[in-house]
Amino acid sequence: MKRREFVGGLALAAGASACGKQPAAIDTGADRSTETFKWNMVTSWPPRLPGLGVGADNLAERVEKASNSRLKIKVYAGGELVPALDVFDAVSRGTAQMGHDAAYYHRGKVPAAQYFTAVPFGLNANEMNAWLYYGGGLELWREYYQQFNLVPFPAGQTGVQMAGWFNKEINSIEDLAGLKMRIPGLGGEVMQRAGVTQITVPAAEIFTSLQTGALDAAEWVGPYNDVTLGLHKAARYYYYPGWHEPGPTLELIVNKDAWDTLPDDLKAIVELACQASNLDMQAEYNYGNAMALQQLKNDPNVELRPLPDDVLELLHKLSNEVIDELSARDEWSARIQKSYSDFLDVSAQNQLISEQAYLNARSAFP
């Protein structure tokens, strides 16, 4: 009986085919599993710079391997395809499909973007990741960047930075007056109010600018990258803490039109590669900064110093003024600031009895 039913079914199917009617098929959509893409990534970093530059290269390699070479990404260092500080515009208009830089480089055009890199006296690295991934920060970031035809991802983290290299001692507030300093973002605006002339130059120009006197001071990242750029050979005084960048996050930005051409599995690979890069870079900086700091402490031509309390107090006061004024004049900044500060208020209470309490206890009993 079952055999007769099976044969009968075949006969019906054959008859339908003969009449020009094919049996209904399940529509699974077009098979995109073999599509390949070749993209360009422009960056703000010198070629193969440890941490930042290598991090962009590693991200591209992870995507290519995970996708079985279906998505290949060619990485360009700052200045190779577009100027180092023009990454945002280049990806927005489609000159390149991807970019790797820091959001606060665009503060003149997109002032609220600074929250997604660093806020003076704000979230540290772990708190920043918590806010972005679980506190609504990433959703705000993506909504904000839609108007620029961009899709952003957290794609790197250096941890708390240094206050910078100075060619003169900073013993009081008065010593800041008239200094020409390379410092971007909200920190740069704060320093301007403290009497400093704020200048933004890409990494490749910092050493020469310090050495020739075009700059009196410069902050870059921390010991790991600063030694690589040779900044310890261009300035003597190395100040901490990095009040202006407690948890600076790097961004991968993708042109929205290009992003929409990718199948879902490649989109997932890009997103996971960015998360992996974010974690890996933070670990690399924790290690690299510790090793490089030992080198600097053993260098007789380098003096490692804390910023005076009155200087930090002034910078804290000015930081609050800058942030409040930014929120007052920019609707997006106000919206992001509320989310950011609401989480900071809650997280600070946890940090007091967890990370901060532990570090205080550890340092009290060497």
**Given the structure tokens 């997006």, which residue do they identify?**
332
How confident is the model at residue 32, as a pLDDT?
Answer: 80
How confident is the model at residue 118, as a pLDDT?
Answer: 97
Q: pLDDT tens for residues 98-145?
A: 999 999 999 999 999 999 999 999 999 999 999 999 999 999 999 999
Residues in contact with 313: Cβ distance below 8 Å, sequence separation at least 6, in sequence order: none
Q: Tell me what the mean pLDDT of segment 232-238 comes to.
A: 97
Window from 5-14, 54-63, 67-76, 257-266 with minimum mean pLDDT: 5-14
Cα torsion angle, 53, 57, 58, 62, sign: positive
HSE-CB at 255 with a 13 A cutoff on CA atoms is: 18
Distance of CA 253 to the CA centre of its chain: 10
Whether cis (ω within 30° of 0) applies to the bond prior to 241 is: yes
Question: Is the pLDDT at 21 greater than 90, yes or no?
Answer: no
Instruction: Extract the tokens encoding 191.
Output: 């320093």
Q: HEC states along 20-41?
A: CCCCCCCCCCCCCCCCCEEEEE
CATH dotted code for 37-160+247-287: 3.40.190.170
Q: pLDDT tens for residues 146-187?
A: 999 999 999 999 999 999 999 999 999 999 999 999 999 999
pLDDT category of residue 219 using cuts at 50, 70 and 90: very high
Q: Tell me what the mean pLDDT of segment 298-314 comes to.
A: 98
pLDDT category of residue 30 using cuts at 50, 70 and 90: low
Can you give the residue ranges of every domain in the chain? 37-160+247-287
Question: Is the pLDDT at 254 greater than 70, yes or no?
Answer: yes
Q: pLDDT tens for residues 58-110?
A: 999 999 999 999 999 999 999 999 999 999 999 999 999 999 999 999 999 99
Rounded Cα gap, residues 80 and 134, in angstroms: 36
Extract the runs of DSSP E, i.e. beta strands, from the chain.
37-43, 71-76, 98-101, 150-157, 164-166, 180-182, 197-199, 217-218, 237-240, 249-255, 303-306
Residues in contact with 338: Cβ distance below 8 Å, sequence separation at least 6, in sequence order: none
Instruction: Extract the tokens encoding 16.
Output: 């339908």
